[in-house]
Amino acid sequence: MDIKGGVVIVTGSATGVGAACAKLLASKGCNVVINYTKSEAEARETAAACEALGVETLLVQADVSKDEDCRRMVETTMAKWGRIDGLINNAGTTQFVNHANLDGLSADDFLRIYSVNVVGPFQMTRAVTPHMKAAGRGAVVNISSIAGVMGLGSSVAYTASKGALNTMTLSLARALGPEIRVNTVCPGFIQGRWLRGGMGDDAYEAAVAAQERNTPLRKAGTPEDMAQAAVWFVEGADLITGEFLIVDAGSHLGGAPLRPR
């Protein structure tokens, strides 16, 4: 898919992986929808960085757990450009709770995490589907986690939600072809404020050092690493659908403690 002059929606794109995806798309000449829930200042900074690369952006405040917000974001995009070539479902949330602390999570915690991590991508995909089908092509990329493969991560609720997102990818890939491809990126450790805030400074720095010392590729992942994989699924994987790509410097092969996104 040639994305130059195209349009891609990136949910949760004010910071982190989402922002990195938006900037990489912009560097390739693709117009980008920058979505945020609360981080307006950071979203505006991301939009400015994209526009400095010569593309147009659309800034949309929307909560992907709300269907009306998802539909509004898509319709606003269509009103501006009349096309949607790609969707990167990056928005996500978690709660850091030790897996052995079963009393640390409530049913409401599960429902909140699932509403963003699973229901949100479903609603966004549903909203873009008629437009992609009408255009005859489109690509959906879900940003999941190695947590959904290995059962390790910030909490049991989070790992379960990412496992659900992975299986939903398979279902949607079957249902939406041949026009729409649906794939998933499963990041491992990602440097940035998400993990630093959840783990605390000391544990975070120790985990970075462990990744750089023990993984086969001797590297701790960055948002930019994940963006490379996600954007490739949009533009460079025309014969691929229903796949999961683990991007973790080889952590899943053993070695460093896995502390997924």
Rounded mean pLDDT for each run of 10 residues along the chain, 261 residues in total: 97 97 98 97 98 98 98 98 98 96 98 98 98 98 96 95 98 98 94 81 86 91 96 97 96 64 48
90 domain residue, yes or no: yes
261 domain residue, yes or no: no
Cα 64–Cα 241–Cα 152 angle in degrees, nearest 5:
60
Closest CA to 56 of 6, 120, 131: 6
82 domain residue, yes or no: yes
243 domain residue, yes or no: yes
260 domain residue, yes or no: no
35 domain residue, yes or no: yes
pLDDT at 198: 77
Domain interval for residue 127:
7-253
Task: Compute φ and ψ for 81, nearest 5 degrees.
Answer: -120, -20
Q: How many CB atoms lie within 10 A of CB 87?
A: 29
pLDDT at 255: 54
80: left (phi over 0), alpha (psi -120 to 50) or beta: alpha
Three-state SS for 237?
coil
258 domain residue, yes or no: no
Residue 217 tokens read as: 């590729």
pLDDT at 260: 46
Q: How many CB atoms lie within 10 A of CB 150?
A: 19
Residue 252 tokens read as: 């899943």
Judge whether 158 counts as a catalytic residue.
yes
pLDDT at 179: 98
Name beta bridge partners: 32.
8, 57
Does the global pTM surpass 0.85? Answer: yes
pLDDT at 158: 97
- CATH number for position 28: 3.40.50.720
Looking at 36, 114, 158, 204, which residue is catalytic?
Answer: 158
pLDDT at 128: 98
pLDDT at 196: 82
What total of structural domains would you count in the chain?
1
2 domain residue, yes or no: no
